[in-house]
């Protein structure tokens, strides 16, 4: 599903269709998990799972969805990621407050279903590959694919043509594919 489908689901959800609301939340969930993974500091990732944080953000989105009054199709994602940034900031503030009050944990052992573990590994692989990219490549992928900004918006932001944004994006994807292939190749023995 693309941006247009997301906006159609949003309009249906705002009109009171419960099923569309659920589909909307489920549709944005994978992108949100990946975005959250990239936003959490290493210290926070040691304390919370990105999927749990994304779930908290989705609950906030569900609760506040009727208050959304965006002017266009892309405003929804901007609103969603604003909620997400605020939740992560609140989480970081709580973690700092707890760190001042509680002794450090002796160990951390959390069991998870294999599906969640597989998703975490996929997200970790993707985020590791993204983190190894040069900033222009990483930035264009995060802005276009994770935050769903438009090429027009990025062209204005970077003071370049939309075609230049698309070319930068294609080069970034090529670099990302290269990083992912390197990460998936098994180690060879001498």
Residue 190: the pLDDT is: 46
- What residue ranges of the chain are covered by domains with CATH 1.10.10.10? 113-190
C-alpha–C-alpha distance, residues 21 and 125, integer Å: 30
Q: Give me the chain's average pLDDT, please.
A: 81
CATH number (1.10.1740.10, 1.10.443.10, 1.10.287.110, 1.10.3720.10) of 1-102 reads 1.10.1740.10
* Mean pLDDT of all residues in 129-147: 87
What is the rounded distance in angstroms from the CA atom of residue 50 to the CA atom of residue 59? 14
Tokens of 12: 């249906």
CATH of 113-190, one of 1.10.10.10, 1.25.50.10, 3.40.640.10, 3.40.50.2000: 1.10.10.10
pLDDT at 189: 47
Model pLDDT, residue 100: 65
CA–CA dist 168, 164 (Å, integer) = 6
User: Rounded to an integer, what distance in angstroms lies between the CA atom of residue 83 and that of residue 111?
Assistant: 29
Tell me the two tokens of residue 144.
Answer: 């276009």
Per-residue pLDDT of 52-66, as tens digits, reads 889 999 998 888 888
Give the pTM. Answer: 0.53
Every domain of the chain with CATH number 1.10.1740.10 lies at: 1-102
Name the one residue in this structure whose structure tokens are 């994304």.
54
């Amino acid at each position: 599903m693309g941006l247009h489908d997301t906006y159609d689901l949003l309009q249906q959800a705002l009109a009171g269709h419960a099923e569309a609301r659920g589909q909307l939340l489920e549709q944005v969930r994978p992108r949100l998990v990946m975005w959250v993974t990239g936003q959490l500091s290493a210290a926070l990732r040691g304390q919370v799972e990105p999927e749990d944080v994304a779930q908290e953000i989705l609950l906030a989105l569900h609760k506040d969805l009727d208050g959304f009054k965006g002017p266009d199709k892309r405003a929804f994602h901007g609103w969603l990621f604003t909620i997400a940034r605020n939740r992560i900031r609140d989480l970081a503030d709580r973690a700092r407050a707890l760190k001042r009050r509680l002794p450090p944990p002796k160990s951390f052992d959390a069991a998870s279903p294999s599906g969640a573990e597989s998703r975490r590994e996929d997200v970790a692989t993707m985020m590791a590959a993204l983190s190894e990219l040069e900033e222009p490549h990483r930035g264009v992928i995060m802005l276009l694919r994770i935050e769903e900004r438009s090429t027009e918006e990025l062209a204005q932001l970077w003071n370049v043509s939309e075609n230049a944004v698309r070319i930068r994006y294609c080069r970034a994807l090529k670099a990302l594919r290269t990083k992912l292939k390197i990460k998936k190749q098994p180690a060879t023995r001498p």
